[in-house]
């Protein structure tokens, strides 16, 4: 369409003038416009990725630049996969991932459902609920350590006030059994609004005529909810879960500021563990293999998930 | 009952829904209000038990944030005479004297330079690429969303190793230019995706008309398409800015001195004898409040960026 009309315009002007006034050809402009972005993405996203893969087969260490670099084959991969600490880290990540997603989906959907009742002022309250997710996770995580202080923290005081326990008797980030929940609570507080916003968009995309038709057929509200609302929102909800899943799998800033992986290594999520290997122990080759394994895991899981998502969408 | 509609919730439902949402909103905003309140407390009020909601406001936290202080003996204080400024007075009350400015202002301006720098670069590159993706046949077009997703699957720590090595050999470690390039690249794929969505919505007929009127393709781009895409460009820019402003993982690994931004700096504020909570809170307040105001003022434009363009309109 575009080309033909542009060509027509060219055809109607004398060839010499047209060549000058047309300036660069479409093809040249397309390349001129795309090339810088592609170059930057290749240099900063793709190239490091390839480099990571290459490093993962060597015994290179950043802090020993003069040592001879040897090709060690799959040794790094084997030692990552046979390392017991990694499995503990994976467990901590799984606990964090599952509970944050469950809580955020339940609360986020409930909030979206309530906001969609269009009560007066819902716009303003939605904005207030969205605030936490716009803020710097590291700064917020750091500040939550203050709210979690046993004696003086607001969180402990509130829990103590509501349950009648002494707020100085429990420490959310110092206790092995509570710390995994401490990070779940802050992440849920911060990211529930994200799930809520996507659900809200899903709810608003349902045409009211469907409910009107269901009402004519005398379908109960309960039935309408399960046969109209839920299936229509499901693709949106699944998309929200995908984004939250990817983000929380690589969670670093919030948790590293909140617990630093502690106490012990009970909240040491994969990214924190990886940082320790790469930038504290300086086992560059090992950490690269670790990174590649993580990437392949997420990539594989996400691909399967996206396939499922597309099936739900088509239904 | 003539105005009864099956899709319009009843007044009672609205009231119940509204109450629940307001309760949740109040609980969710409480930690943020607490940060702001703590920044105006004295150190002893900040750690009082039970937590104090009523207190005498003081700027001590802010003074401590912007200065470094040393303990002074009574002798020293007497020799110095009366404090000359209001901030001197606050510091001397606790037996300290101001030794010099802290590094907070420097970190804060680093955040500004890197945030705005990367946003501008990202928008310039992103708008051009998005226009090309939207209007021309370009290879890789269909893989764009997948590409965005896959670059976001890699934990920042994992790519930080080779980026660290690459920046070191290029002399970009701990420089503003390095961080601007890095944040631009991180934001770019998403920015292109969002901008493409906005440009797709501008009817192609406008440009065709301009081309027929004798505009070159380039003129048509910046005289016809750009003004129409301004709202979209602005909301994408806000999103890029907020990301760069909040980023921590790359900042903490790749910067230490000259180019360090505020997020890695704020948690390191430590007072004499334990963490100086009012100063930390003051730093957090100055850092977080601009984003809060941004969010409230520009809420309508932010939605698309937040939801990764998954949600149109």
* Domain presence at residue B256: yes
Which of A91-100, A226-235, B125-134, B303-312 bottoms out in mean pLDDT, i.e. has the lowest? Answer: B303-312
B132 shares its domain with B73: no
A24 shares its domain with A162: no
Q: What average pLDDT does range B95-99 have in this prediction?
A: 80
- At A247, list the tokens: 């983000």
Minimal Cα–Cα distance from A86 to chain B, Å?
15
* Domain presence at residue A68: no
Out of B103, B138, B171, pick the residue that ends a domain.
B103
A124 shares its domain with A268: yes
* Domain presence at residue B124: yes
Q: What average pLDDT does range A66-91 have in this prediction?
A: 86
Which chain B residues in 194-223 lie under 8 Å from chain A, judged by CB atoms? 204, 207-208, 211-212, 214, 216-219, 221
* Domain presence at residue B79: yes
Instruction: Please give the residue that has the higher pLDDT: either A98 or A260.
Output: A98
Which chain A residues in 64-83 lie under 8 Å from chain B, judged by CB atoms? none
* Domain presence at residue B28: no
* Domain presence at residue A67: no
Which one of A100-109, A301-310, B181-190 scores highest in mean pLDDT?
A100-109
A44 shares its domain with A81: no
Please determine, for residue A132, whether its predicted confidence score (pLDDT) is greater than 80. Answer: yes
What percentage of chain A exceeds 70 in pLDDT? Answer: 92
B138 shares its domain with B196: yes
Give the residue on B whose Cα is nearest the Cα of A239: B310
Which chain B residues in 1-20 lie under 8 Å from chain A, judged by CB atoms? 6-7, 9, 13-15, 17-18, 20
Which chain B residues in 32-71 lie under 8 Å from chain A, judged by CB atoms? 32, 34-35, 38, 46-51
In this complex, the residue of A37, A154, A252 whose CB is nearest that of residue B51 is A154
Confidence band of B3 (pLDDT split at 50, 70, 90):
very low
Q: Nearest to residue B292, comparing CAs of A194, B284, B191?
A: B284
The residue among A25, A41, A168, A249 with the most chain B CBs within 10 A of its CB, best to mutate, is: A41
Chain segment A147-166, per-residue pLDDT in tens: 998 878 889 889 888 988 88
Based on the structure, what is the number of domains in chain B? 2
* Domain presence at residue A296: yes
CATH number for the domain that contains residue A135: 1.10.3720.10
B167 shares its domain with B195: yes
Domain enclosing residue B84, as ranges = 57-103
Residue A307 at interface with chain B, using a CB cutoff of 8 Å: no
Q: What average pLDDT does range A277-289 have in this prediction?
A: 89
Contact: A6, B208; criterion CB under 8 Å: yes
Based on the structure, what is the number of domains in chain A? 2
B134 shares its domain with B176: yes
- Quick one: CA torsion of A254, A255, A257, A261, rounded to 10 degrees? -170
Q: Which H or E run contains B162?
A: helix B156-170
Confidence band of B146 (pLDDT split at 50, 70, 90):
low
Give the residue on B whose Cα is nearest the Cα of A41: B185
Residue A13 at interface with chain B, using a CB cutoff of 8 Å: yes
How far apart CA A281 and CA A296 sit, in angstroms, is 23
Please determine, for residue B54, whether its predicted confidence score (pLDDT) is greater than 60. Answer: yes
Minimal Cα–Cα distance from B78 to chain A, Å?
36
Please determine, for residue B23, whether its predicted confidence score (pLDDT) is greater than 50. Answer: yes
A34 shares its domain with A85: no
Confidence band of A181 (pLDDT split at 50, 70, 90):
very high
Chain-wide mean pLDDT for chain A? 85
Give the residue on A whose Cα is nearest the Cα of B252: A253
- At B28, list the tokens: 């969710």
Please determine, for residue A79, whether its predicted confidence score (pLDDT) is greater than 80. Answer: yes
Q: Provide ipTM, 2 decimals.
A: 0.85
The pLDDT assigned to B20 comes to 94
* Domain presence at residue B115: yes
Q: What average pLDDT does range B150-158 have in this prediction?
A: 77
* Domain presence at residue B68: yes
* Domain presence at residue A40: yes
Please determine, for residue B152, whether its predicted confidence score (pLDDT) is greater than 80. Answer: no
The residue among B19, B21, B140 with the most chain A CBs within 10 A of its CB, best to mutate, is: B21
A136 shares its domain with A45: no
* Domain presence at residue A103: yes
Minimal Cα–Cα distance from B168 to chain A, Å?
11
Q: What average pLDDT does range A76-84 have in this prediction?
A: 88
Which chain B residues in 102-121 lie under 8 Å from chain A, judged by CB atoms? none
Contact: A131, B277; criterion CB under 8 Å: no
A136 shares its domain with A8: no
Contact: A24, B217; criterion CB under 8 Å: yes
The pLDDT assigned to A15 comes to 43
Contact: B125, A198; criterion CB under 8 Å: no
The pLDDT assigned to A172 comes to 87
Residue A295 at interface with chain B, using a CB cutoff of 8 Å: yes
Which chain A residues in 73-132 lie under 8 Å from chain B, judged by CB atoms? 107, 111, 114-115, 117-123, 125-132
Is residue B194 within 8 Å of B123, Cβ to Cβ?
A: no
Residue B144 at interface with chain A, using a CB cutoff of 8 Å: no
Out of B73, B103, B133, pick the residue that ends a domain.
B103
Confidence band of A10 (pLDDT split at 50, 70, 90):
very low
Confidence band of B310 (pLDDT split at 50, 70, 90):
low
Instruction: Please give the residue that has the higher pLDDT: either B52 or A192.
Output: A192
* Domain presence at residue A168: yes
A130 shares its domain with A249: yes
* Domain presence at residue A173: yes
Residue B280 at interface with chain A, using a CB cutoff of 8 Å: yes
B253 shares its domain with B121: yes
Please determine, for residue B2, whether its predicted confidence score (pLDDT) is greater than 50. Answer: no
A188 shares its domain with A307: yes
Residue A134 at interface with chain B, using a CB cutoff of 8 Å: yes
B113 shares its domain with B86: no
B92 shares its domain with B225: no
B124 shares its domain with B246: yes
Half-sphere exposure of A188 (CA within 13 A, CB side): 22
Q: What average pLDDT does range A2-29 have in this prediction?
A: 54
B160 shares its domain with B138: yes
Domain enclosing residue A40, as ranges = 2-55
Confidence band of B37 (pLDDT split at 50, 70, 90):
very high
* Domain presence at residue B30: no
* Domain presence at residue A148: yes
B64 shares its domain with B176: no
Confidence band of B57 (pLDDT split at 50, 70, 90):
confident
A48 shares its domain with A84: no
The pLDDT assigned to A289 comes to 92
Confidence band of B305 (pLDDT split at 50, 70, 90):
low
Which chain A residues in 178-237 lie under 8 Å from chain B, judged by CB atoms? 189, 194, 197-198, 201, 208, 211-212, 215, 236
The pLDDT assigned to A1 comes to 40
Out of B79, B103, B127, pick the residue that ends a domain.
B103
Chain segment B164-208, per-residue pLDDT in tens: 888 888 988 889 999 999 999 988 888 888 888 888 888 888 888
CATH number for the domain that contains residue B164: 1.10.3720.10
Q: Nearest to residue A3, comparing CAs of A32, A26, A29?
A: A26
A92 shares its domain with A236: yes
In this complex, the residue of A123, A142, A275 whose CB is nearest that of residue B266 is A142
The pLDDT assigned to B155 comes to 80
A88 shares its domain with A35: no
B78 shares its domain with B111: no
B193 shares its domain with B217: yes
Q: What average pLDDT does range A180-196 have in this prediction?
A: 94
């Amino acid at each position: 369409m575009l080309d033909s009309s542009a060509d027509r315009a060219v055809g109607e002007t004398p060839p010499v003038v047209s060549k000058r006034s047309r300036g660069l050809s479409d093809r040249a402009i397309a390349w001129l416009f795309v090339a810088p972005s592609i170059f930057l993405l290749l240099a900063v996203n793709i190239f490091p990725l390839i480099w990571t893969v290459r490093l993962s087969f060597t015994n290179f260490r950043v802090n020993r630049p003069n040592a001879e670099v040897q090709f060690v084959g799959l040794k790094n991969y084997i030692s990552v996969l046979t390392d017991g600490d990694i499995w503990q880290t994976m467990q901590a990540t799984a606990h964090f991932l599952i509970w944050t997603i469950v809580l955020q989906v339940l609360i986020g959907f409930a909030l979206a459902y309530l906001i969609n009742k269009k009560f007066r002022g819902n716009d303003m309250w939605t904005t207030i609920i969205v605030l936490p997710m716009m803020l710097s996770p590291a700064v917020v995580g750091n500040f939550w350590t203050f709210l979690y202080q046993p004696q003086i923290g607001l969180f402990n005081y509130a829990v103590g006030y509501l349950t009648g326990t002494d707020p100085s008797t429990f420490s959310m980030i110092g206790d092995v059994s509570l710390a995994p929940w401490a990070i779940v609570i802050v992440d849920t507080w911060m990211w529930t609004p994200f799930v809520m916003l996507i659900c809200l968009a899903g709810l608003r995309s349902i045409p009211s005529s469907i409910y009107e038709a269901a009402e004519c057929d005398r379908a109960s509200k309960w039935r309408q909810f399960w046969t109209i609302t839920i299936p229509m929102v499901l693709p949106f909800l699944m998309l929200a879960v995908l984004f939250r899943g990817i983000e929380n799998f690589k969670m670093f800033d919030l948790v590293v500021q909140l617990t630093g992986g502690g106490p012990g290594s009970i909240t040491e999520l994969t990214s924190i563990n990886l940082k320790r290997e790469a930038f504290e122990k300086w086992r560059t080759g090992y950490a690269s293999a670790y990174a590649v394994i993580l990437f392949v895991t997420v990539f594989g899981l996400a691909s399967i998930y996206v396939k499922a998502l597309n099936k739900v969408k088509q239904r | 009952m003539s105005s009864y509609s099956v899709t319009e919730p009843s007044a009672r439902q609205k009231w119940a829904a509204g109450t629940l949402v307001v309760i949740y909103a109040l609980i969710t905003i409480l930690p943020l209000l607490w940060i702001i309140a703590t920044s105006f407390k004295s150190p002893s009020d900040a750690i009082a038990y039970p937590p104090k909601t009523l207190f005498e406001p003081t700027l001590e936290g802010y003074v401590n944030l912007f200065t470094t202080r040393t303990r002074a003996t009574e002798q020293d204080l007497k020799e110095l005479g009366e404090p000359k400024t209001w901030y001197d007075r606050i510091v001397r009350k606790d037996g300290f004297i101001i030794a010099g400015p802290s590094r907070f202002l420097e970190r804060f301006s680093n955040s500004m330079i890197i945030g705005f720098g990367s946003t501008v670069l990202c928008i310039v590159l992103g708008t051009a690429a998005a226009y090309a993706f939207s209007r021309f046949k370009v290879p890789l077009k269909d893989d764009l969303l997948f590409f965005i997703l896959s670059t976001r699957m890699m934990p920042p720590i994992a790519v930080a190793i080779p980026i660290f090595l690459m920046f070191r050999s290029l002399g970009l470690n701990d420089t503003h230019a390095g961080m601007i390039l890095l944040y631009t690249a991180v934001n770019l794929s998403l920015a292109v995706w969002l901008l493409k969505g906005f440009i797709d919505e501008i009817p192609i007929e406008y440009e065709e008309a301009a081309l027929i009127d004798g505009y070159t393709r380039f003129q048509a781009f910046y005289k016809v398409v750009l003004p129409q895409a301004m709202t979209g460009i602005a909301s994408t820019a806000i999103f890029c800015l907020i990301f760069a402003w909040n980023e921590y993982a790359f900042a903490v690994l790749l910067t230490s001195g000259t180019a360090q931004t505020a997020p890695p700096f704020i948690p390191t504020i430590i007072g004499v004898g334990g963490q100086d909570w009012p100063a930390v809170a003051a730093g957090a307040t100055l850092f977080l409040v601009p984003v809060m105001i941004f969010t409230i003022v520009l809420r309508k434009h932010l939605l698309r960026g937040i939801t990764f363009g998954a949600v149109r309109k």
